[in-house]
Structure 1
Amino acid sequence: MFERTAGSYIIGLLKEWNVDHIYGMPGDSINEFMEEMRKEQAIRFIQVRHEETGALAAAAFSKLTGKIGVCLSIAGPGAVHLQNGLFDAKKDKTPVLAIVGQIESTKVGTDNFQELKLEAMFEDATVYNRRVQSADQLPDMLNQAIRTAYAEKGPAVLIVSDDLFSEKIKRNEPQTSAIYAAPKLRPDEEDLADAARLIKASKKPVILAGKGSKDAVAEVLAFAEKIQAPLIASFPSKGIIPDEHPHNLGHLGQLGTKPAEEAMKQADLVILAGTAYPYRQFLPENAPAIQIDIDPKVIGKYYPATVGVASELKPAISELTARAEPKDSDFLSRLLEQKSAWQADLQADMDKETELMQPQHVLAEVQKVLDPDAVVSLDVGSVTIWTAKYLKLSQQKFVLSAWLATMGCGLPGAIAAKIAYPNKQVIALTGDGGFSMGMQDFVTAVKYDLPMTVVIFNNQKIQLIEHEQKEKGNEPTNVEIANIDYAAFAAACGGEGYTCRNRTELSDALAQAKQSRKPVVIDAYVEDISPIS
Structure 2
Amino acid sequence: MTGKLGVCLSIAGPGAIHLLNGLYDAKKDHAPVLVLAGQVPTDQIGTDGFQEVNMERIFDDVAVYNQQVVSEEQLPSMVNQAIRTAYAKKGVAVLTLPDDISAEKIKNKVQKNAVLYEAPELEPDTAAMQEAVTFIEKAKKPIILAGTGAKQAKEELAAFSDRIAAPVVISLPAKGVMEDEHPNFLGNLGMIGTKPAYEAMEDTDLLILLGTSYPYTEFLPEDVTCIQIDSNPLQIGKRYPVDVGIAGDSKKTLAWLNEQLPQSEKRDFLEKYQEKMADWWEDMKADEEQTSTPIKPQQVIHEVQKIAADDAILSVDVGNVTVWAARHFRMKTTQDFLISSWLGTMGCGLPGAIASKQAFPDRQVIGLCGDGGFTMNMQDFLTAVKYNLPIIMVIFNNERIGMIKYEQEASGNLDYQTGLESFNFARFAENCGGKGYRVEKFEELKPSLEAAASFNQPAIIDVCIEDEPPIPGKLSYDQVTSYSKQTIKKLFEKGKLELPPVRKGLKRM
TM-score over 0.5 (shorter chain) = yes
Q: 1:173 offset after TM fit, Å?
A: 6.2
The amino acid that maps onto 1:519 is P
2:365 is the counterpart of 1:410: no
Counterpart of 1:338 in structure 2 is 276
Q: Do the aligned residues in 2 keep the contact of 1:143 with 1:176 (CA within 8 Å)?
A: yes
Counterpart of 1:89 in structure 2 is 26
Instruction: Please give the alpha-carbon distance, in whole angstroms, between the structure 1 residues aligned to 2:151 and 2:409.
Output: 37
Q: Do the aligned residues in 2 keep the contact of 1:381 with 1:407 (CA within 8 Å)?
A: yes
2:127 is the counterpart of 1:197: no
Counterpart of 1:316 in structure 2 is 253
Query: Which of the numbers 242, 247, 251 marks the counterpart of 2:179?
Result: 242
The amino acid that maps onto 1:369 is I
Instruction: Please give the alpha-carbon distance, in whole angstroms, between the structure 1 residues aligned to 2:291 and 2:164.
Output: 42
**Partner SS, residue 249 of structure 1:** strand
The amino acid that maps onto 1:160 is L
Q: 1:413 offset after TM fit, Å?
A: 0.2
Instruction: Please give the alpha-carbon distance, in whole angstroms, between the structure 2 residues aligned to 1:355 and 1:408.
Output: 27
Q: Do the aligned residues in 1 keep the contact of 2:165 with 2:267 (CA within 8 Å)?
A: yes
The amino acid that maps onto 1:351 is E
Query: Can you list the C-alpha shifts for 1:326-349, whole angstroms capped at 9, x where unaligned?
Result: 221111001000000000011111
Counterpart of 1:365 in structure 2 is 303
Q: 1:172 offset after TM fit, Å?
A: 4.7
Query: Can you list the C-alpha shifts for 1:385-422, whole angstroms capped at 9, x where unaligned?
Result: 01111101101111100000000000000000010011
Q: 1:370 offset after TM fit, Å?
A: 0.2
Instruction: Please give the alpha-carbon distance, in whole angstroms, between the structure 1 residues aligned to 2:345 and 2:219.
Output: 23
2:59 is the counterpart of 1:119: no
2:208 is the counterpart of 1:267: no
The amino acid that maps onto 1:430 is C
TM-score, length-scaled by structure 2: 0.91
The amino acid that maps onto 2:300 is V
Instruction: Please give the alpha-carbon distance, in whole angstroms, between the structure 1 residues aligned to 2:60 and 2:420.
Output: 35
Counterpart of 1:431 in structure 2 is 370
Distance 1:121 1:173, change over 3 A: closer
The amino acid that maps onto 2:124 is P
The amino acid that maps onto 2:176 is G
Instruction: Please give the alpha-carbon distance, in whole angstroms, between the structure 1 residues aligned to 2:23 and 2:426.
Output: 31
Counterpart of 2:505 in structure 1 is none
Instruction: Please give the alpha-carbon distance, in whole angstroms, between the structure 2 residues aligned to 1:172 and 1:71.
Output: 27
Q: Do the aligned residues in 2 keep the contact of 1:240 with 1:397 (CA within 8 Å)?
A: no
Query: What residue ranges of structure 2 are gaps of 5+ in the alignment?
Result: 473-509
2:452 is the counterpart of 1:499: no
Counterpart of 2:288 in structure 1 is 350
Instruction: Please give the alpha-carbon distance, in whole angstroms, between the structure 2 residues aligned to 1:431 and 1:76.
Output: 31
**Partner SS, residue 451 of structure 1:** coil
Q: How does 1:48-447 map to 2 (within 5 A)?
A: 64-170=1-107, 172=109, 174-327=111-264, 328-394=266-332, 395-447=334-386
**Partner SS, residue 292 of structure 1:** strand
Q: 1:504 offset after TM fit, Å?
A: 2.1
Query: Can you list the C-alpha shifts for 1:478-505, whole angstroms capped at 9, x where unaligned?
Result: 0001121111111111111110012221
RMSD: 1.1
Instruction: Please give the alpha-carbon distance, in whole angstroms, between the structure 2 residues aligned to 1:164 and 1:517.
Output: 44
Give me the identity figure in percent: 50
Q: Do the aligned residues in 2 keep the contact of 1:497 with 1:520 (CA within 8 Å)?
A: yes
Instruction: Please give the alpha-carbon distance, in whole angstroms, between the structure 2 residues aligned to 1:518 and 1:414.
Output: 13
Instruction: Please give the alpha-carbon distance, in whole angstroms, between the structure 1 residues aligned to 2:50 and 2:110.
Output: 38
What is the aligned length? 470
The amino acid that maps onto 1:147 is R
Q: How does 1:473-484 map to 2 (within 5 A)?
A: 473-484=412-423
Counterpart of 2:461 in structure 1 is 522
Query: Can you list the C-alpha shifts for 1:339-381, whole angstroms capped at 9, x where unaligned?
Result: 0000001111111243310100100110000000111100000
Q: 1:318 offset after TM fit, Å?
A: 1.4
Structure 1 or 2, whichever has the larger Rg, is: 2
**Partner SS, residue 454 of structure 1:** strand
Q: 1:166 offset after TM fit, Å?
A: 2.4
Q: Do the aligned residues in 1 keep the contact of 2:150 with 2:250 (CA within 8 Å)?
A: yes
Q: Do the aligned residues in 1 keep the contact of 2:11 with 2:39 (CA within 8 Å)?
A: yes
Instruction: Please give the alpha-carbon distance, in whole angstroms, between the structure 1 residues aligned to 2:302 and 2:370.
Output: 16
Query: Can you list the C-alpha shifts for 1:35-87, whole angstroms capped at 9, x where unaligned?
Result: xxxxxxxxxxxxxxxxxxxxxxxxxxxxx111111111111001111000000
Q: 1:127 offset after TM fit, Å?
A: 1.4
Instruction: Please give the alpha-carbon distance, in whole angstroms, between the structure 1 residues aligned to 2:110 and 2:464.
Output: 61
The amino acid that maps onto 1:440 is Q
The amino acid that maps onto 1:531 is P
Q: 1:106 offset after TM fit, Å?
A: 2.0
The amino acid that maps onto 2:244 is V
**Partner SS, residue 61 of structure 2:** helix
Q: Do the aligned residues in 1 keep the contact of 2:77 with 2:113 (CA within 8 Å)?
A: yes
Instruction: Please give the alpha-carbon distance, in whole angstroms, between the structure 2 residues aligned to 1:156 and 1:119.
Output: 11
Instruction: Please give the alpha-carbon distance, in whole angstroms, between the structure 2 residues aligned to 1:233 and 1:245.
Output: 13
Counterpart of 2:499 in structure 1 is none
Q: Do the aligned residues in 2 keep the contact of 1:443 with 1:493 (CA within 8 Å)?
A: yes
Q: Do the aligned residues in 1 keep the contact of 2:226 with 2:242 (CA within 8 Å)?
A: yes
Instruction: Please give the alpha-carbon distance, in whole angstroms, between the structure 1 residues aligned to 2:443 and 2:339.
Output: 29
Tell me which moved more, 163-172 or 120-129. 163-172
The amino acid that maps onto 1:80 is I
TM-score, length-scaled by structure 1: 0.87
Query: Can you list the C-alpha shifts for 1:221-275, whole angstroms capped at 9, x where unaligned?
Result: 1111111110112111112222122211111111111111111111111111111
Query: Which of the numbers 456, 460, 463 marks the counterpart of 2:399?
Result: 460
Counterpart of 1:48 in structure 2 is none
Q: Do the aligned residues in 1 keep the contact of 2:293 with 2:442 (CA within 8 Å)?
A: no
Instruction: Please give the alpha-carbon distance, in whole angstroms, between the structure 2 residues aligned to 1:502 and 1:442.
Output: 25
Q: Do the aligned residues in 2 keep the contact of 1:147 with 1:179 (CA within 8 Å)?
A: no
Instruction: Please give the alpha-carbon distance, in whole angstroms, between the structure 1 residues aligned to 2:283 and 2:291.
Output: 14
Query: Can you list the C-alpha shifts for 1:437-496, whole angstroms capped at 9, x where unaligned?
Result: 110111000001111110000000111111111111212100001121111111111111
Q: Do the aligned residues in 1 keep the contact of 2:73 with 2:110 (CA within 8 Å)?
A: no
Instruction: Please give the alpha-carbon distance, in whole angstroms, between the structure 2 residues aligned to 1:102 and 1:442.
Output: 29
**Partner SS, residue 512 of structure 1:** helix
Q: Do the aligned residues in 1 keep the contact of 2:291 with 2:442 (CA within 8 Å)?
A: no
**Partner SS, residue 65 of structure 1:** coil
Q: 1:196 offset after TM fit, Å?
A: 1.3
Q: Do the aligned residues in 2 keep the contact of 1:228 with 1:332 (CA within 8 Å)?
A: yes
Q: Do the aligned residues in 2 keep the contact of 1:365 with 1:503 (CA within 8 Å)?
A: no
Q: 1:283 offset after TM fit, Å?
A: 0.4
Counterpart of 1:34 in structure 2 is none
Instruction: Please give the alpha-carbon distance, in whole angstroms, between the structure 2 residues aligned to 1:194 and 1:125.
Output: 38
Instruction: Please give the alpha-carbon distance, in whole angstroms, between the structure 2 residues aligned to 1:502 and 1:366.
Output: 15
